[in-house]
Amino acid sequence: MLLEVEGLCVNYGHIEAIRDISFGVQEGEIVCLIGANGAGKTTTLKTISGLRTVREGQVRFDGQDITNVPAYERVALRLSQSPEGRGVFVGMSVRENLDMGAYVRKDVKTPAYREDLDRVFDLFPRLKERERQIAGTMSGGEQQMLAIGRALMARPRLLLLDEPSMGLAPKLIQQIFSIIKEINEQGTTVLVVEQNAAQALKLADTAHILETGEIVRSGTGAELSGDDSVKAAYLGGDV
């Protein structure tokens, strides 16, 4: 198991944001967390990446307990995140943003680094076209591509994606999900938080449904997308 989350509890002050969450991510999988706003999806992802303090429970990555490991050290262990809202460095160029994604690497002047940069440009040709453009002047879809590309520059074994389709036009949503699948097929394990449940379940090997900080259902993407109660609650009655 590449990622193991066991009995995880996280508070915001006195408010219990997630409680007793347990799940795993096998190497090579795409795993999705779906649920309504406030269900605890983003908190779960932030806790895995080291941005939230654990009250109880454990996070293990490749067999190592990383529950109390700082976020920057988790990136060095090859766990990186594309955050909700993209979070690009708006005053920097596309290339500078991508270079920032590789800040923990020691091989920035080597062919391996250039290969990873070329991989990002192959996945997102628009970024290559706009390599010198200031990120803050780009469209929302372009910034989402940049946020994912920046996370990939850390050469992650596990890529965490928080709401990659948020605010995007339907045509671009299809493109982003297609690229996520391609990233996975190239060998990167993916854990994605997504409100677009229909698209997420089509993509997922395994999916978990969160409600008020707890996992209430788990299964394959196909199983959950075919379940009538899931359709009614999350898919508008249909996938």
Contacts of residue 110, Cβ cutoff 8 Å, sequence gap at least 6: none
**pLDDT, tens digit, 9 for 90 and up, residues 173-198:** 999 999 999 999 999 999 999 988 99
Instruction: Return d(Cα 101, Cα 80) in angstroms, integer.
Output: 9
Do residues 84 and 42 make contact, with C-beta atoms less than 8 angstroms apart? yes
Spell out the domain ranges in the chain.
1-40+49-77+204-239
pLDDT of residue 239: 42
Report helix, strand or coil for 193: strand
**Which runs of consecutive H residues, i.e. helices, occur in the chain?**
41-49, 71-76, 94-101, 111-123, 125-129, 140-152, 170-185, 197-203, 221-225, 228-234
pLDDT of residue 238: 45
Domain 1-40+49-77+204-239 - what CATH class? alpha beta
Q: Phi first, then psi: what are they for 48, rounded to 5°?
A: -65, -35
Contacts of residue 24, Cβ cutoff 8 Å, sequence gap at least 6: 1, 3, 4, 5
The whole-model pTM stands at 0.93
Sheet of 56-61, strands arranged across: 15-25, 3-12, 56-61, 64-65
Chain position carrying tokens 């997922």 = 204
Instruction: Return d(Cα 114, Cα 228) in angstroms, integer.
Output: 48
Please report, for residues 121, 124, 134, 142, the alpha-carbon distance to residue 137 in angstroms, rounded to integers and kept in the order given: 19, 17, 6, 10
Chain centre distance of CA 22:
18
pLDDT of residue 236: 65
Please report, for residues 40, 70, 86, 201, the alpha-carbon distance to residue 150 in angstroms, rounded to integers and kept in the order given: 25, 19, 10, 25
Which residues in the chain land under pLDDT 70?
Answer: 236-239
Instruction: Return d(Cα 130, Cα 155) in angstroms, integer.
Output: 22
